[in-house]
Structure 1
Amino acid sequence: MKFRFLFFITRNPSFSSAELKTHWDTKHVELLRSTMGENFPLTHSRHYIARPAETNGSWPAAVLVEVQEDFPYGGIVELVFPDEVAFQTFLGIYSAPRAAVGRRDVHRQREDEGSSIG
């Protein structure tokens, strides 16, 4: 039975949805793919919160209900694995110090560009 794992993408409030999407699609996912190899999930789907226009130096979420404070994240990621054992293997590799160094490098690179995305 397939195992699904969902998590929120954190974001710097000064980033547009397009900047966040570009960073995740070109940096984070590629780093994850190269780190995980055959342990990369079957699917890695990202759904970004729409933030169409800058307002006073931030990018408010386009929401129908609730308030901006309910949307501090930039998106939701769904990872699908063949089973929970595959997820646990993935998590073990992802949590290892070597993988953490690569993630810090990606964060540091983005900070050098002016901000950070978590």
Structure 2
Amino acid sequence: MYTAMALIWRKPGTTPTFFQTHYDTVHIPLLQRLVGDTFPLTHTRHYVARREPSSPSNQSSPPPGSPPPGSPEQAYPPIILRGTGDPSDPDAYTVMQWRDEGAFRRFMDVFMREEVQAEMRRDEEVFLDTGREKR
């Protein structure tokens, strides 16, 4: 198996629920349609649990270096069981697997086509913070 991972952030101003629903019900079917039989054998999304803004446990002061109170990242802080975490951690970790590296390369050949990228970008503008990848 050949495994690749994507770290994904939700667009500021969107809720974790909207982000997850759109990713699962719109974005993944779009990707499947665009890349056809090169789609990975598995495409597993792991969503980071986040507190709702009204949660009483959300009232503590943020750790040093974290986003300011009221910022989109601070509005839904991640639920961390161990360690400190960071409110700006990704909202989803996506793990994809292909049969082998050749299958992955065939996927990338299709995925990077201009027309595929254009459609993907249009949808990503709805729910993803793609600027995070460049920071």
TM bucket normalised to smaller: 0.7 to 0.9
Aligned to 1:83: 100
Do structure 1's residue 68 and structure 2's residue 61 form an aligned pair?
A: no
Find the structure with the greater CA-based Rg: 2
Name the structure with the higher strand share.
1
Aligned to 1:100: 117
Give distance in 2, aligned partners of 1:107 and 1:70: 18
Identity of aligned residues (%): 26
Unaligned runs of 5+ in 2: 59-69, 131-135
Say whether the 8 Å CA contact 1:46–1:76 is kept in structure 2.
yes
Give distance in 1, aligned partners of 2:112 and 2:18: 26
Aligned to 2:61: none
Deviation >4 Å, runs of 4+: none
Residue range with higher mean Cα deviation, 51-60 or 5-14: 51-60
**Could you report, residue by residue, the CA deviation over 1:23-65 in whole angstroms, capped at 9, with x for unpaired residues?**
1001210111001111111111000000131264521111132
Give distance in 2, aligned partners of 1:75 and 1:67: 14
Please state how far the C-alpha of 1:13 moved relative to its aligned partner: 4.1
Say whether the 8 Å CA contact 1:14–1:59 is kept in structure 2.
no
Normalising by the residue count of structure 1, what TM-score does the alignment of the two structures yield?
0.82
Q: How many residues align?
A: 110
Normalising by the residue count of structure 2, what TM-score does the alignment of the two structures yield?
0.73
Residue range with higher mean Cα deviation, 43-52 or 58-67: 58-67
Q: C-alpha root-mean-square deviation of aligned residues, in Å?
A: 1.8
Say whether the 8 Å CA contact 2:2–2:104 is kept in structure 1.
yes
Say whether the 8 Å CA contact 2:43–2:96 is kept in structure 1.
yes
Unaligned runs of 5+ in 1: 111-115
Aligned to 1:5: 4
Give distance in 2, aligned partners of 1:13 and 1:66: 22
> Structure 1 residues 18, 69: CA separation in 2 closer, same or farther (over 3 Å shift)?
closer
